Structure 1
Amino acid sequence: MINDNFDIENFPIIESLQTNFTDVISLLGEDVDREGLIKTPERASKAMKFLTSGYEIDPAAILKGAMFKEDYKEMVIVKDIEFYSLCEHHMLPFFGKAHIAYIPNGHIVGLSKLPRVVDVFARRLQVQERLTDQVLNCISDTLKPLGVAIVIEASHMCMMMRGVQKQNSATTTSGFRGAFKEMKTRNEFLKLIASSLS
């Protein structure tokens, strides 16, 4: 959760979204008064507002609220961060895992804040390439570490449910800043996220 107190009922946009979802259902040829669909516009509106709630949150503020002075200067990795997003081209889900590493430069950050930053950017209409850059740049600009790296692996329903309908395809994007531009450091990160330490 981005915010445990997130209350979808507080958004006045819900009523307008309901009207539009009702129109969409009707245009598709369905009976909006059918028992199973009576509350669908309301449910869909609340779901859509939640799934795009990242617009309401400042991801840099999340990091700034949990930065601590520390002399540690080795790699910190948080891997297998699950995320769910909506493709901006078809508004269909894409989902997967993000792997993030940074090398502190005087400050560390609470480990739970990195997944929260991923969630903030994922809960917007997105493309995977932009999501990768936004998370990378936010961490780099806010923490100002010696280096930052990110790899995102995702499956896209727009490729699986429609279009080419390839069920087993996956998309990988990556980004590297600072020390991770060096091949040795980058390879260490890639090796660690590929391995199981259990």
Structure 2
Amino acid sequence: MTDMWDELFEPPDPADVLGDLYELAVDVFDLRYDGSEPAWAAWAWGVLTAAGRTAAGTEYQRGELVLRLLALHRFHREFCARAFGLGVPGMWEIDPDRVVGDHPRLHPVLLGVIAERRHLDLADGTGAGEIDFDVSVAASALDQLVGSEYRQVVPLLVRSVGPAALAASVAASLNDGVRFPLPDADVRGLLVSGPGSDIESTLGWIRAGARPG
């Protein structure tokens, strides 16, 4: 039987929140096949929306939204590496083939335009305006651009929801069927380290600025 309160407080559908970015979110937020990572991404995206950071009136701005979504992904992976040993802290990377391509992904031409406008210094010396990136150059461009968005997005998340709620939400996203935002009681319960986890020190990392690496 469905609880009446569950029906009243049903969270928005992640596909509705993320729009055409939902497909990309499902593809990259995949640390646990049975987790709730896309729902977490949608919740975090809603926080950014409330702060006016998800509007896009041009294709260029939409490209920046893809980078912003990847900044959320980078934070999520960094947290999980630190708290649960799922990865290596400071070693975030994304396969360009997963995020660069035709709509709804980031078109390679648009990636080149954004790199040029932001005056990136790419690893192999390729001029930022040269849009015929190979995989290594695209990876370098993504790393720098997502890093720039990370420095804007993550402090905003911390200020908006608080370090404890943010840490608990990421921890909860590894479980199946989680709905966000989390009740206060769930937040408190999730901030206790268990075997193989280090939630407390990772919460300290968030409070100190959540810098990657």
Q: Given the two structures, how large is their TM-score scaled by the length of structure 1?
A: 0.25
Between the two structures, name the one with larger relative contact order (CA 8 Å, sep ≥ 6): 2
Computing the radius of gyration from Cα coordinates, the structure with the larger value is 1
- Please identify which structure carries the higher helix content: 2
Q: Given the two structures, how large is their TM-score scaled by the length of structure 2?
A: 0.24
